[in-house]
Amino acid sequence: MWFGIFAGAGMAGIAVAARLRARKVRRRKLLATPPPPTWLPILEATLPMIGKLSDEHKRQLFGKMQVFLAEKSFEGCGGLEISEKIKVTIAAQACMLLLGRETGIYPKLKTILVYPHTYQGGRKGMFGGDNGETARLGESWDCGVVVLSWNSVVGGARNFEDGHNVTFHEFAHQLDQEDGAADGAPVLGERSAYATWAHVFNHEYKALVKLTRRGRKDTMDRYGATNPAEFFAVATETFFEKPKQLKTKHPELFEELQYYYRVDPTEWTER
């Protein structure tokens, strides 16, 4: 009897290991697969800054997009039909947050829900409480779902200098949630990195809260003063879209974000 139990457990373990190896091989092939000829024209129209990326970053981006599109599902809401343009535009921006890093491709994410424009949401809030029926541009749920307004996605992608990008914002929340808690501290890898991250982010968050209460503006949008999780998401938007301003006014915050994202977006503004 015991032999049968152990044998069954052993076989199950072998099967799991085999699936993991197969998935690893499949992902490696996808990462090395060139993009279809339709992708670049789509991105040149919807995400013009794609032309500022280096050849190496483009290679990384297209490879990560291949994995993203193979493993995540898209669902249209409010009558929207999902097209290649929608999937490619969203995947490109989501995967820009992964450039330069050896990391999973949003391992907890399963589905992206896309509305044609601003939508009414009444789901229980990510941080507790009932948000009520409010107009929304996007959401990130801890159950592996991102919700986006396509109209807002397009606007954020085309205007890459205003510090507002709903796709970056919601996918930054997904990164934040990878360790199970939406607290403004994503998985940093090295244990020693958390102390510096906490010190810098706590200081910068409190400073933004004070400015917001006084009615004063900052490089970052005041929505970042809502809570630490929103601060990380807003800081991410600013890092990628207004890197020079962030580096000048908040050098320590810029340095921490550069350490995490492993890219320097100021290089893209100079190309």
Is residue 130 included in any domain, yes or no?
A: yes
> Using an 8 Å Cβ cutoff, are 95 and 65 in contact?
yes
Q: How many domains does the chain have?
A: 1
pLDDT of residue 130: 45
* 23 within some domain: no
Coil vs helix vs strand at 190: coil
Q: Is residue 211 part of a domain?
A: yes
**pLDDT at residue 129, as a whole number:** 39
Q: Give me the CATH number covering residue 219.
A: 3.40.390.10
* Distance separating alpha carbons of residues 67 and 26, to the nearest angstrom: 9
CB atoms within 10 A of CB 71: 16
> How far is 40 from 194, CA to CA, in rounded Å?
38
Beta bridge partners of 140: 146
Residue 206, domain member (yes or no): yes
Which tokens sit at 36?
């279809």
Q: What is the dihedral of CA 20, 90, 142, 80, to 10 degrees?
A: -110
CA distance 82 to 75: 7
Q: What pLDDT, on a 0 to 100 scale, did the predictor assign at position 221?
A: 95
> Is 139 within the bounds of a domain?
yes
Q: Is 203 domain-assigned?
A: yes
What does the DSSP assignment read for 193-248? HHHHHHHHHHHHHHHHHHHHHTT---SS-GGGGS-HHHHHHHHHHHHHHSHHHHHH
- 244 domain residue, yes or no: yes
Residue pair 165/146 in contact (Cβ under 8 Å)? The answer is no
Residue 8 has a pLDDT of: 61
- pLDDT, residue 128, reads 39
* Chain centroid to CA 199: 23
**What residues make up the domain containing 261?**
33-269
Q: Is residue 105 domain-resident?
A: yes
Distance between CA atoms of 145 and 139, rounded to whole angstroms?
Answer: 8
How far is the C-alpha of 251 from the C-alpha of 248, rounded, in Å?
Answer: 6
Separation CA 35–CA 4 (nearest Å): 48
* Its pTM surpasses 0.85: yes
Residue 28, CA distances (Å) to 23, 25, 112, 219 in order: 9, 5, 23, 39
Q: Print pLDDT tens along the chain (271 aa).
A: 555 655 565 666 666 566 667 777 888 899 889 999 999 999 999 999 999 999 999 999 999 999 999 999 999 999 999 999 999 999 999 999 999 888 889 999 999 999 999 888 755 444 333 445 677 889 999 889 999 999 999 999 999 888 899 999 999 999 999 988 889 999 998 888 999 999 999 999 999 999 999 999 999 999 999 999 999 999 999 999 999 999 999 999 999 999 999 999 999 876 6
